[in-house]
Amino acid sequence: MAVKILYIGSRLGEVAEHKSQIEKQKLNIMDKVELKDETAILPNPCYVQCGDNLELLKSQPNESVNMIYCDILYGTGRNFDDYQDLKPIRSDIESHYLPRLIEMKRVLKQNGSIYLQMDTRINHWMRILMDDVFGYDNFQNELVWVYRTQGFSKTKWSEKHDVILFYSKSKEFIFNLEAVREKEIGESTQKRWHKEIAEHGMIPTKKNGKIYWNSPYSPPRDWININALPQAHSERNGYSTQKPKELISRFVLASTNKGDVVADYYLGSGTTAVVCKELNRNFIGCDINPKAIEITNARLEAVS
């Protein structure tokens, strides 16, 4: 017998129906639910559902999400094992993304941010769409993820990077600099300040006879050098376009705080959901492919 429990997600500001104990991850916030007394607060809810992201977006309240990360359809025209990508036809790209971007802006909180990952096939069209929807002044960065994978072109420069467009909803947005400093110290800094770094984790600067202590780590640059997951990597889950947790966690750490709500509307194998659970962020996401939801739920279960 299905056990019906209603939860109010405290920070999601949203009502979700927990259809049964057995299907506990399969929350469908699109269901019309009646409020009852038997409510409880989810400490770290991860809402994942199967379906078209436009429907999920339309069902979400205004300004209910702190950050959006989406590893979108890149417009390769390819039939991946797991899903069919869009063709690199501008009108197709625009008609797919425009209504979704409008909804994404609506659900984002005033101090929220959005990260959209793609490659050079469509990033120029997406940038224009994003300018139209979020505003040119809210464009913050074009981040570049540099990776090393097998396979090289012999007729042109080999493509070994993705582009991540980072926009805020307004001028006031969260950016946790200290959480994303680059954890590599230049050789000369290391040599010069090794004692201070070992003792204080900081390096001193003298100004007007006073000593100021600063982090030895640089603020993050707009290119990110993280390895793509090799086939044999323990994080690999079999989804063809899986991204490394390390990459997505940088965006989550930079643009949210513990307890905030992160959304991913092109969830794939659930990398963003897993990162959020590990970093104590609330999560809401969906994918149109049931296999993606299956893998995501299994990964979420494995996070203690």
Ligand X SMILES: C[S@@+](CC[C@H](N)C(=O)[O-])C[C@H]1O[C@@H](n2cnc3c(N)ncnc32)[C@H](O)[C@@H]1O
Least gap, CB of 93 to ligand X (angstroms): 12
184 binds ligand X (CB under 6 A): no
Per-residue binding string, ligand X, 193-232, x by CB under 6 A, is: ----------------------------------------
Options 53, 60, 138, 140; binder of ligand X; rule CB under 6 A: 53
Q: Inter-axis angle of helices 271-278 and 290-302, to 10 degrees?
A: 20
Least gap, CB of 125 to ligand X (angstroms): 17
Least gap, CB of 11 to ligand X (angstroms): 23
Cα dist from 296 to 50, 129, 136, 303, whole Å? 11, 29, 34, 11
Please list every residue from 240 through 299 that binds ligand X, using CB under 6 A. 241-243, 265-266, 268-269, 271, 286-289, 292
Least gap, CB of 198 to ligand X (angstroms): 37
Least gap, CB of 81 to ligand X (angstroms): 11
Q: Determine how many CB atoms are found less than 10 A away from the CB of residue 31.
A: 12
Least gap, CB of 239 to ligand X (angstroms): 5
Which residues have C-beta within 8 Å of that of residue 154, sequence separation ≥ 6? none
CA distance 105 to 224: 26
Q: What 3-state DSSP class applies to 210?
A: strand
At residue 281, φ and ψ (nearest 5 deg) are -110, 150
Q: Which is nearer to ligand X, 120 or 218 (CB)?
A: 120
Element (H, E) at 29: none
Least gap, CB of 52 to ligand X (angstroms): 4
DSSP, residue by residue, 54-112:
HHHHHHSPTT-EEEEEEE-------B-SS-BPPPS-HHHHHHHHHHHHHHHHHHEEEEE
Q: Which is nearer to ligand X, 12 or 292 (CB)?
A: 292
Q: Which is nearer to ligand X, 242 or 297 (CB)?
A: 242
Q: By CB under 6 A, how many residues form the interface with ligand X? A: 20
CB-closest chain residue to ligand X: 268
Please list every residue from 70 through 89 that binds ligand X, using CB under 6 A. 71, 73, 82-83
Least gap, CB of 289 to ligand X (angstroms): 4
Q: Which is nearer to ligand X, 82 or 246 (CB)?
A: 82
Q: Determine how many CB atoms are found less than 10 A away from the CB of residue 100.
A: 20
Q: Which is nearer to ligand X, 196 or 235 (CB)?
A: 235
Q: Which is nearer to ligand X, 82 or 294 (CB)?
A: 82
Please list, residue by residue across 188-213, b when 16 or more beta carbons sit within 10 angstroms of its beta carbon and e when fewer do. Answer: eeeeebeeebeeeeebeeeeeeeeee
DSSP 218: P
Residue 219, both tokens: 């603020």
Q: Which is nearer to ligand X, 50 or 203 (CB)?
A: 50
Binding site for ligand X (CB under 6 A): 52-53, 71, 73, 82-83, 239, 241-243, 265-266, 268-269, 271, 286-289, 292
